[in-house]
Structure 1
Amino acid sequence: MKNLFKSINPLKAIVAIAMVVLTATTLQAQQLKPAASGYAPVNGLKVYYEVYGDGKPLVLLHGAFMTIEGNWGRLIPELSKTRKVIAIEMQGHGHTPYADRKLDIATLASDVDAVMNYLKVDSADVAGYSMGGSVAYQLTLQHPKRVKKLVIISSTYKSTGWVPAIAGAFKNMKPEMFANSPMKTAYDAVAPDKTKWTKFIDQMLVFMATPFDMGDSNITKITSPVLIIAGDNDGLDKVELAKTYQLLGGGVSADMAPMPKSQLAVLPAQSHVGLMMQTPTILTYLNGFLK
């Protein structure tokens, strides 16, 4: 048995698990048509968005290689019952065309800000998963008045927030690992130019391997209440996660001091990709926090 586990390529295992979850999420998603959808002309791109429901706006930002449906398909039907849900597909993802423009977190955050301008949304609650969580952190730092409440799901504001094995995996991923995958199938289903797949993957692998750090001192300046949701084995360094929560005002003894406005939830027995399958639990945390 030990020899069997040694023979498994951990990089391929990460991608394989993500593919399984992506497929399951897409297939099990409730069918719900957006009330509005289209392209926002922002920063030289046409960024795709979908709008569901009515109420206070909630912006959703997906993870790397994912689409709105693949990331949020199980949650949007419930969230949109009480909220105006605005889901965005970032540069090169889903319906949003590939662009040669350099891919970085600050630029993606600027795109989200511009989409909100286009949709005439002055401020909103924002939730981001994985890559989308990093973009959500950056959006809050660049445009603090935009974000009322911030939800970060299995994500970090610095590359050292991941355990070393994940950082190493990001650097060693190869384009061929994504060939004939559900990610490729999802891309082909909605991408405006399917011939850009290889360029998109190459661009994303460079993006993921590039170190980033938004700065501890900047995180302490965030005034929006923040809900952090993580899996206990999702690849995040839990020591760094605890430090992040402290930077946001958490980690106190609430019997002797006021309860912090930010919250931390660590779900047991959950991986990075499996965490998004815990729909009822995530909804409970989201609804409680956003109310």
Structure 2
Amino acid sequence: MKSETKGSDSLKPALIIALLFFTVFQSKGQQSKPAESGYAPVNGIKVYYEVYGEGKPLVLLHGAFMNIAMNWGQLIPELSKTRKVIAIEMQGHGHTQYSDRKLDLPDMASDVEGVMNYLKVDSADIVGYSMGGSVAYQLIIQSPKRVNKLVIISSTYKSTGWLPQVTNAFKVMKPELFANSPMKAAYDAIAPDKTKWTKFTEQMFAFVASPFDMGDSNIAKITSPVLIISGDNDGLDKIELAKTYQLLGGGISADMAPMPKSHLAIVPSQGHVSLMMQTKILLDYLEDFLK
């Protein structure tokens, strides 16, 4: 009995993270309709995208298990007033069909580049949240000329950038925990093939539990301006985050040297989920950095 209780307790952080993620974000439905939507055939799969507004292109990359409406529903109406906003749903997420292709960051970054090619977008500003932020880091490493400015929201380029309790929670996630959850309801609402739910969750749990590291040297080579936004208690290791900012040229005394082109914003009293709900704060940071 003791071992069963211990195992059950070890799953609670993972369950809480996922249920909080979807319960909170479900209430934030998308508030506008895309001017264009469709599927881009890239790398053997068809990736769903939506386009809003006109102007300089801005690509949005969602977090794990999420879709466009959940992640960006409150931000798109404002961002699209002055920008051409391109929102993408990753392999197996939202309207993009499940694929047996192994999930990894290089492939997802190539998918994003493929959608840009399909829409004839040579380069764009990129905004990525959580998993989408890791994909965005991978994209700028693989294809630096495709990224003008980069915004990373509550994300990292290496698994050790997360606190141990976060990575430990990922390791014990199991598909059966979410059989009757808001996560499953969200999947069933728009997934092209609802029968792939179990395979999708197994694939995703394997992906989020796998260690990754894009390399400090690759981050130091980034020449595009980068804005990092993090909640003060969002699960990121702030010591590692400070090191990341230093690799990007930050963490200096700007009274004695020019202000770095990359910026770091730590939003107080925010976790990983609640940070994404701070629409006005995020818009202020984005508009100031991207203008």
TM-score > 0.5, shorter chain as reference: yes
The residue aligned with 1:3 is: none
The residue aligned with 2:247 is: 247
**Range with bigger deviation, 13-22 or 225-234:** 13-22
SS of the residue 1:88 aligns to:
strand
CA RMSD of aligned residues (A): 1.6
The residue aligned with 2:261 is: 261
- Map of 1:86-125 to 2, 5 A cutoff? 86-125=86-125
CA distance in 1, matches of 2:217, 2:11: 33
Conservation of the 8 A alpha-carbon contact between 2:28 and 2:70: no
Q: CA deviation at 1:20?
A: 3.8
Conservation of the 8 A alpha-carbon contact between 2:13 and 2:169: no
Conservation of the 8 A alpha-carbon contact between 2:15 and 2:173: no
- Map of 1:111-190 to 2, 5 A cutoff? 111-190=111-190
Unaligned runs of 5+ in 2: 1-5
Q: CA deviation at 1:175?
A: 1.1
Q: CA deviation at 1:7?
A: 12
In structure 2, do the counterparts of structure 1 residues 267 and 10 end up closer, same or farther at CA, with 3 Å as the change threshold? farther
TM-score by length of 1: 0.95
- Map of 1:39-50 to 2, 5 A cutoff? 39-50=39-50
Q: CA deviation at 1:178?
A: 1.7
CA distance in 1, matches of 2:62, 2:163: 21
In structure 2, do the counterparts of structure 1 residues 186 and 139 end up closer, same or farther at CA, with 3 Å as the change threshold? same
Q: CA deviation at 1:15?
A: 3.6
SS of the residue 2:252 aligns to:
coil
The residue aligned with 1:236 is: 236
Residue 154 of structure 2 aligns with an amino acid whose one-letter code is: S
CA distance in 2, matches of 1:177, 1:267: 31
Q: CA deviation at 1:180?
A: 1.2
SS of the residue 1:121 aligns to:
coil
The residue aligned with 1:200 is: 200
Q: CA deviation at 1:167?
A: 1.1
CA distance in 1, matches of 2:164, 2:137: 21
Deviation per CA, 1:6-58, whole angstroms, max 9, x where unpaired? 99946434543543443443333352110000000000000000001111100
Fraction of identical pairs, as percent: 75
SS of the residue 2:54 aligns to:
coil
Residue 162 of structure 1 aligns with an amino acid whose one-letter code is: W
Residue 156 of structure 2 aligns with an amino acid whose one-letter code is: T
In structure 2, do the counterparts of structure 1 residues 212 and 28 end up closer, same or farther at CA, with 3 Å as the change threshold? closer
Conservation of the 8 A alpha-carbon contact between 1:12 and 1:177: no
Deviation per CA, 1:129-154, whole angstroms, max 9, x where unpaired? 00000000000000000000000000
CA distance in 2, matches of 1:236, 1:208: 15
Q: CA deviation at 1:270?
A: 0.7
Pairs aligned (count): 286
Unaligned runs of 5+ in 1: 1-5
SS of the residue 2:266 aligns to:
strand
TM-score by length of 2: 0.95
Residue 75 of structure 1 aligns with an amino acid whose one-letter code is: L
Conservation of the 8 A alpha-carbon contact between 1:52 and 1:80: yes
